[in-house]
Structure 1
């Protein structure tokens, strides 16, 4: 679902055929980064977890030479962008499930915005802390659901809070979507009916505000 939403935003934001300079912060399994490299974009991936980084590098090594040449990795995290890149280095920055919400996300986001070129696109996927009790309650994990309510002394970040934060650092949100509204983690990813429902709900009020994760697409001013 994130890939569908991201591709739509890229198509709307950049001219057809443009080869983008992409930074993926927190590679994870490298799914989005590899997909974009295969599409012809030049990708730099940051990953602080040595095991995950090794897995991605192994996957990249199995790709054709042209893709390997367009893909480089660094052992670093989202807080390290200032040490590695000049301002305006990238056209597209991905930060999917890698933003440290429990500490100070504004510092990390400011660093990501800094390395975006003017007019560049930031794709941010985060857990929706306002909806944290919902998946536990849906699965009958009542103690865990109550614990989420009891932990409300930690910062709460939903769509409105993130939009305000991004506005303050000069990268206002252009579009945002809900992800995992009705779908569970173990639902088949290729079920077109499920994807159709998720896609519709992910851009429709009030359903998108109840999503387990939020996908925000912001533009560097």
Structure 2
């Protein structure tokens, strides 16, 4: 995921340019801190106060120069117009958020407005075209059959959430002025691994296989997650 994002940033912007990044639903700030360490100015938006606290704690452990490049805002991402002016950011991240939003089109339109011309919108969503894969590979045939005709599912936290189809998001991105530029599959081979599983000894080989599959048809189409990159016209 991080490699894919870096690949798109490198393709869109001059080497060494310090970008203005908005990370909506930043969680504990993993991506925000990584991009700040790379020299970018990052604004993180997160609704969960516990996540904000964790991000602040992680930020406190960083050198002053990095701390100065990060701003944290508590919010749900649907009020970006209240906090920021249109066109204020070169890159907008929205990773692992849409599955919690009942009607995501308004959120996506608001995020697109935050982008400067040529800016990059990076989305990470649950793949609605592959919801049967996880239960099927786990041997839960009843759940696999039920997953073919729905975009709803229960995630690993036990929450009832929703998935998105590539075709529908492609149309949405075109409609909001940030048409799809590239897309990847994420967790093609590793979706059934336990969250707390120890990484294998040959983890670099695993990552290479995942990265290759995430760019290659037909494998990327059955990935658990989709990483979509739209570019503001």
Same fold (TM over 0.5): yes
Partner in structure 2 of residue 191 of structure 1: 203
Superposed CA offset, 1:6-55 (max 9, x none): 01111111000000000000011211111000111000000001111111
Q: Give the alignment's Cα RMSD to 1 decimal.
A: 1.9
Partner in structure 2 of residue 63 of structure 1: 62
Aligned length: 220
- Cα deviation for residue 139 of structure 1 reads 1.4
Partner in structure 1 of residue 168 of structure 2: 161
State the alpha-carbon separation in 2 of the partners of residues 172 and 98 from structure 1. Answer: 19
- Cα deviation for residue 183 of structure 1 reads 1.3
Distance 1:202 1:58, change over 3 A: same
What TM-score, normalized to structure 1?
A: 0.93
Given that 2:99 and 2:163 are in contact with CA atoms closer than 8 Å, whether structure 1 keeps it comes out as no
State the alpha-carbon separation in 2 of the partners of residues 153 and 179 from structure 1. Answer: 19
Distance 1:144 1:52, change over 3 A: farther
What TM-score, normalized to structure 2?
A: 0.88
State the alpha-carbon separation in 1 of the partners of residues 67 and 17 from structure 2. Answer: 19
Structure 1 gap ranges (5+): none
Select the structure that is richer in helix.
Answer: 1
Pair 1:171 & 2:159 matched: no
Superposed, 1:69-218 pairs within 5 Å as 69-100=68-99, 103-149=102-148, 151=150, 157-184=164-191, 185-186=193-194, 188=199, 191-218=203-230
Structure 2 gap ranges (5+): 154-161
State the alpha-carbon separation in 2 of the partners of residues 107 and 33 from structure 1. Answer: 24
